[in-house]
């Protein structure tokens, strides 16, 4: 080798070594800039530090020690926890192009099957368009949808009127009180049918499976995807058998109600619903004419969208109502103020309607406080960083799972003073803090491109239920028959979704109104909200 060639080789080698050293130095600097967090153990990281339920409270404890952006690892997987409104908005809203993806959830997604819907589908844009058209802000202002909500709400009120002594059982069943509304909206399934398809139980079991399968740090297969190849029959593969059981329930949720809608369409008479509307708009023959036979792709999208809509609402809306019953039990002064406002603003011979919201500012503030006080999904759904990012001097590596701790955000003392107290008044004052608090409440439904598409529908549904229940009922604690002392409700939480199981609560019919099941207001609503069946035969 001549001298010049040797010099070139030496220079190239030196440059390569320098590049490697600079890269390693840069990575080392980036690693030193990672967000702070609790120290973990080798291999497992912080997996043993995360409780099996109410993880958001543990994350909130870490926030107080390490700050608003925390990094932990679970079996080698970096996890970023965002615990303030500013940090969450800066990353998930302003940098949505980086943080809009969902992580590849092996247990919940691949094994159980939720990757077909509920935030994980490849057809996410089609989902969003369909949801927006049927339940976006403009859609929720349409008289037909509001009348559907009001008609189904009457069914809920009558159930409570017929058997108020069993109120605590209604609450413990969780979805029994509100799922009929979501069934009607999603599938046109009438509430007076008695649920012959057992959809309420199917949805409850499916969502319990989702909550269990989605718990952070619970399943080793999420960190070691190769474990999914283990056969369910393997002696130590209990997670595979559990996933198989959950998937069977989810398949029922996909197929049973969808087949019901198809049968109704073929009979040429049905109740308008999200699924029927989607099928009608997207089912055409080769000549572009409307057809009754959807393609496989349209069927799969409709099944996944319907299951996502129904299952999400069937758990999160009851969560808000359970929080309402608990809050009214613990804060009777709030209940009294809300009832006084309703009595003053609404004629005594009618029930409150969605259109009355502007006349009921305190009740509207009460509903906002429900979303804040006990958010239905305290950790939201996970995001993932699609590329390396720097934020406030912190390095967030590509592939990090990112959680917005909505519980912490909704309990920020700078936004919500005395956050553990239930205070609707915090949304009523004419101050910048109140305006900021009102804006922050939307964050309880998520962030950025992944915000809950059913947000407006949920807000209408919960407002209507709260206003009408307050008009008819008084909610109070039970009294111990032996000691004659007030029993403070006992509360249990269920899984990833904040479902309250309230023990020792009681509901009674108030004597302050002449309301009864044959009330003129009820009859008027029912007479004016009957959905018309539609002829679906192609023209």
**Binding residue numbers for heme:** 452
Query: Using CA atoms, how far apart are residues 342 and 336, in angstroms rounded to an integer?
Result: 10
3-state helix, strand, coil in the chain (%, to 5): 55, 10, 35
Q: How far is CA 505 from CA 37, 159, 361, 408, in A?
A: 40, 17, 27, 27
Annotated binding site: 452
CA 293 distance to own-chain centroid: 32
Contact criterion met (CB below 8 Å) for 465 and 353: no
DSSP class of 31: H
Structure tokens at 203: 């949805």
Burial class (CB in 10 A: 0-12, 13-18, 19+), 15: exposed
Q: Where do the H-state alpha helices sit in 39-196?
A: 55-66, 85-88, 96-99, 124-135, 143-162, 167-173, 179-187
Contact criterion met (CB below 8 Å) for 376 and 211: no
**Helical packing angle, 332-345 and 361-373, nearest 10°:** 150
Query: Using CA atoms, how far apart are residues 325 and 438, in angstroms rounded to an integer?
Result: 22
Query: Using CA atoms, how far apart are residues 443 and 433, in angstroms rounded to an integer?
Result: 16
Query: Using CA atoms, how far apart are residues 456 and 454, in angstroms rounded to an integer?
Result: 6
Kind and range of the H or E run holding 527: helix 520-527
Q: How far is CA 390 from CA 30, 385, 461, in A?
A: 9, 11, 40
Structure tokens at 397: 């590596």
């Amino acid at each position: 080798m001549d001298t010049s060639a040797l010099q070139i080789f030496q220079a190239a080698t030196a440059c390569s070594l320098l590049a490697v050293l600079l890269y390693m130095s840069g990575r080392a600097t980036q690693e030193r800039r990672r967000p702070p967090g609790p120290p973990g153990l080798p291999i497992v990281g912080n997996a043993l530090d995360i409780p099996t339920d109410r993880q958001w409270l543990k994350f909130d404890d870490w926030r107080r020690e390490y700050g608003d952006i925390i990094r932990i690892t679970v079996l080698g997987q970096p996890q970023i926890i965002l615990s303030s409104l500013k940090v969450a908005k800066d990353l998930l809203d302003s940098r949505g192009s980086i943080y809009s993806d969902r992580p590849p959830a092996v247990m919940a997604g691949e094994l159980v099957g939720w990757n077909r819907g509920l935030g994980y589908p490849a057809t996410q844009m089609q989902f969003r368009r369909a949801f927006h058209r049927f339940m976006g802000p403009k859609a929720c202002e349409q008289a037909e949808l509001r009348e559907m909500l009001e008609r189904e709400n009457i069914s809920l009120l009558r159930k409570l009127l017929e058997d108020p002594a069993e109120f605590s059982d209604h609450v413990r069943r969780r979805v029994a009180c509100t799922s009929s509304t979501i069934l009607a909206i999603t599938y046109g399934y009438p509430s007076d049918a008695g649920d012959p398809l057992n959809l309420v139980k199917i949805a409850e079991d499916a969502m319990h499976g989702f909550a269990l399968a989605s718990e952070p740090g619970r399943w080793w297969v999420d960190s070691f995807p190769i474990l999914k190849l283990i056969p369910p029959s393997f002696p130590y593969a209990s997670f595979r058998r559990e996933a198989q059981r959950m998937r069977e329930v989810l398949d029922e949720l996909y197929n049973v109600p969808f087949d019901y809608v198809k049968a109704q369409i073929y009979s040429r008479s049905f109740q308008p619903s999200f699924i029927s509307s989607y099928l009608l708009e997207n089912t055409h023959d080769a000549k572009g004419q409307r057809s009754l036979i959807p393609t496989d792709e349209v069927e799969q999208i409709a099944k996944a969208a319907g299951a996502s809509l129904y299952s999400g609402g069937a758990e999160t809306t009851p969560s808000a109502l359970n929080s309402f019953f608990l809050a009214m039990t613990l804060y009777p002064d709030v209940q009294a103020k809300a009832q006084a406002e309703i009595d003053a603003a609404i004629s005594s011979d009618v029930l409150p309607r969605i259109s009355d919201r502007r006349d009921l500012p305190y009740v509207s503030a009460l509903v906002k406080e429900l979303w804040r006080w006990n958010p239905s999904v305290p950790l939201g759904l996970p995001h993932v960083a699609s590329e390396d990012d720097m934020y406030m001097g912190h390095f967030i590596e590509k592939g990090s799972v990112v959680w917005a701790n909505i519980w912490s955000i909704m309990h920020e003392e700078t936004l919500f003073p005395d956050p553990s107290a239930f205070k609707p008044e915090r949304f009523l004052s004419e101050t910048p803090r109140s305006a900021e608090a009102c804006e922050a409440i939307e964050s309880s439904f998520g962030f950025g491109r992944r915000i809950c598409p059913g947000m407006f529908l949920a807000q209408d549904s919960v407002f209507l239920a709260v206003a009408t229940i307050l008009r008819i009922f008084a909610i109070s604690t039970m009294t111990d028959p032996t000691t004659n002392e007030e029993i403070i409700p006992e509360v249990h939480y269920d899984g990833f979704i904040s479902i309250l199981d309230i023990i020792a609560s009681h509901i009674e019919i108030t004597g302050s109104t002449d309301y009864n099941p044959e009330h003129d207001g009820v009859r008027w609503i029912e007479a004016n909200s009957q959905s018309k069946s539609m002829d679906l035969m192609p023209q």
